[in-house]
Amino acid sequence: MNPRSDGAQNAALFYYAASIFALFLIPGAKLFWHETNLPPLVPQVRLVINLLYLNLAAAFFILARRFAGKPLPRVKWWAIFFLIAVGLCVIYPVFSGDLMEYLVRGRILGVYHQSPYQHVPAEFPSDLLYAYSTWKINPDCYGPLLVALETIPALFFANSVTGMVWLEKMIFLGFMAFGAYFFTRLASEFGRAEKTSESTVLFALNPLLWVSTVIDGHNDIVMLSLTLAGVYFFMRKKFTHCFLLCTAAFLAKYTVLLILPFLVIAAMKQEGAREGKFPWAFAAKQIILNSAVVMLAFWPLWGGKGTFLALIRASGWFYTNTIPYAVHQGFSMLGLSLDPAWFKYGFVAVFFAVYAYWLWIQLVEKEFNALRFFRRLCLVYLCFYLTIISPFGFQYLLWALPWLILSHWPFDRFLIIGYAFAGLFSYFKRMNYLLLLACAVYFAALAVQRMRTSRQTRRMSV
């Protein structure tokens, strides 16, 4: 690497580190203007956040561009970013109260020694975190692995809200580093080698990942990191490791089930080809082993139907920041007042039809292709977002993020930055409209690029 190039990369890293560090201004702005709402509602605070995000988007674009086709950032830079992340972990959540919901349910188990599947925050009105809880009548809606991770802060900082917030975020930061490691391995071994550095930067330093994990403390990183590790071992044909890690991801958050059938089909086909027959013994081993892990994990806390009560309640909603709602609003503006149920169940039906088609393609494909597989995982989650009718948080976009990067779609850097910031700017709860706008901008840019390419081709032919 020549000194000039090295200096440009260091400048980009410094600018981005400073932009990430500047997010510490958000709690200062909230304090100055006496903002107490999640997400912020005071116009001055929103202005500060928007300016910080615009600067962050510019810094992130420059950073990704500087590392296109170049070696990864040096260890010292990763250490600097890690220290910044540790500091950000101290900040109370800015855009969502989900972290406090995790912690109060962790206290039900850690402090009161009751199952958070069978008991709810409303039963503990004198608890330190009671005032922070919005969903007081809902039991825990996550898997037992997350219940365990929620409980750790209550055991170490039973009387300190700041301590609990910091430790829970530190746990998630550890998973973020774990996921970044396996993402890098996937990108270098099974992606496009020349794009490994840029892809790693686009994932490991992605503002969407940072804000959702170390500022707001969302638990999606746990499922995502375990899934990344599972897919890595799947690509290495270590299927037992893969399915145990995917089972652990399921025990954190259930939406890993959306991509699990694709892993199962591909693994069964490869094992069948190796054995020369249907791999009955392999299938039985995986079913018994992973079912046993799931049952053992749920057994101490099991609350019957109540274990999934929060999810059951959410399934009937028709939330205003979802894509089906946006389409419903569009028809209403055209004077077509249709029953919301048409949109709710229509979108779900389309999803399952497309999903079944992709599963069929996975089943009949003769040769496994890593790029096609990553794109399929990406599209499953993106298509699922179209059907969500319950509260749709920006952190959900993390589920597709690594697969979006590894898919190497056209204009991928532009696409990923647009995707990330459509989510980040949706902190005012209008994600559906921003995502639709981001799609329109992306496809318009793609059309313009193709028109230019076509003109250049015609000129050369003349």
Question: Which two three-digit tokens encode residue 191?
Answer: 């992606």
Instruction: Give pLDDT tens digits along the chain (462 positions).
Output: 455 568 889 999 999 999 999 999 999 999 999 999 999 999 999 999 999 999 999 999 999 999 988 999 999 999 999 999 999 999 999 999 999 999 999 999 999 999 999 999 999 999 999 999 998 999 999 999 999 999 999 999 999 999 999 999 999 999 999 999 999 999 999 999 889 999 999 999 999 999 999 999 999 999 999 999 999 999 999 999 999 999 999 999 999 999 999 999 999 999 999 999 999 999 999 999 999 999 999 999 998 877 887 777 777 777 788 898 888 888 888 888 888 888 888 998 999 999 999 999 999 998 999 999 999 999 999 999 988 888 888 999 999 999 999 999 999 999 999 999 999 999 987 888 999 999 999 999 999 988 887 777 777 765
Please report the pLDDT score of residue 345 as a whole number.
87
In angstroms, the CA 166 to CA 114 distance is 24
Nearest-CA neighbor of 412 among 182, 206, 223, 176?
Answer: 206
Q: What share of the chain is helix, strand, coil (3-state, %, to 5)?
A: 75, 0, 25
Do 267 and 249 form a contact (C-beta atoms < 8 A)?
A: no
- Residue spans per domain, the chain: 3-461
Question: Which two three-digit tokens encode residue 266?
Answer: 């591909």
In angstroms, the CA 209 to CA 224 distance is 11
Q: Count Cβ atoms within 10 A of the Cβ of residue 432 and give its class: 0-12 exposed, 13-18 middle, 19 or more buried.
A: buried
Question: Which two three-digit tokens encode residue 153?
Answer: 């802060």
How many C-beta atoms lie closer than 10 Å to residue 15's C-beta? Answer: 17
Nearest-CA neighbor of 227 among 81, 86, 399?
Answer: 399
Question: Which two three-digit tokens encode residue 389?
Answer: 């009718």
Q: Is the dihedral of CA 270, 272, 273, 274 positive or negative?
A: positive
Q: 379: part of which helix (H) or strand (E)?
A: helix 370-385
Do 278 and 272 form a contact (C-beta atoms < 8 A)?
A: yes
The pTM is what?
A: 0.94
Please report the pLDDT score of residue 29 as a whole number.
96
Question: Which two three-digit tokens encode residue 450?
Answer: 């193709």
Q: DSSP assignment, residue 320?
A: T
In angstroms, the CA 174 to CA 222 distance is 9
What does R_g of the chain's alpha carbons equal in angstroms? Answer: 23
Question: Which two three-digit tokens encode residue 325?
Answer: 């709602």
**Side-chain-facing half-sphere of 169: CA atoms under 13 Å:** 29
Please report the pLDDT score of residue 4 as a whole number.
58
Q: b/e for 18-52, b at 16 or more Cβ within 10 A? A: ebbeebeebbebbeeeebeebbbebeebbebbeeb
Cis-peptide into 39, omega within 30 deg: yes
- Which residue is associated with the tokens 């925050």? 121
Please report the pLDDT score of residue 462 as a whole number.
59
- Which residue is associated with the tokens 């004198």? 126
In angstroms, the CA 438 to CA 382 distance is 13
Residues 6+ apart with CB under 8 A from 378: 400, 403, 404, 406, 407
Q: Count Cβ atoms within 10 A of the Cβ of residue 67 and give its class: 0-12 exposed, 13-18 middle, 19 or more buried.
A: buried
- Which residue is associated with the tokens 């009937």? 316
Q: Is the dihedral of CA 386, 390, 394, 400 positive or negative?
A: negative
Nearest-CA neighbor of 202 among 68, 400, 407, 64?
Answer: 64
In angstroms, the CA 262 to CA 264 distance is 5
Residues 6+ apart with CB under 8 A from 411: 442, 445, 446, 449
